[in-house]
Amino acid sequence: MTTTLALLIMVLVVWMIAAGWCGFAKRFFGFVLVLAIGLALNWGWMVWGLDAKPFEHPVLVAQGAAIGYALCAFAIGWMAGRITREFQATRIERNTGQQVSLGLTQCEKDATPRYD
């Protein structure tokens, strides 16, 4: 594996972690910013690193794939965040045996199943 390829893979992994974190934390504007930066870096690599024309079919397909990667990372992060928040919302306090409220909205409280 060349150094350039290792660097590109590392940048892709960091970018997908950033998109996943935006999903986990429900940061939609942050995700748009991460997506724009990733698409700009991908486009720059394709145009200047590989000497492709800006609107060639392979460049557009690579941009579409990058959008797909980002959306999948965001969705996985969002789902992980939702599962984490749901576990925290249904946590039982050890000493009292009462369910602990963690500042959830009424909609989130209503969605939590009750086992009374």
Q: What is the pLDDT of residues 79-89, one digit of tens each?
A: 999 999 888 88
How sure is the predictor about 1, in pLDDT bands with cuts at 50, 70 and 90?
A: confident
Residue (of 23, 14, 24, 19) closest to 35 by Cα position = 19
Helix, strand or coil, per DSSP, at residue 92: strand
User: Which pTM value belongs to this model?
Assistant: 0.75
pLDDT at position 109? 60
45 contacts 53 by C-beta, under 8 angstroms: no
What pLDDT, on the 0 to 100 scale, is given for residue 93? 65
Alpha carbon distance 52, 8 (integer Å): 17
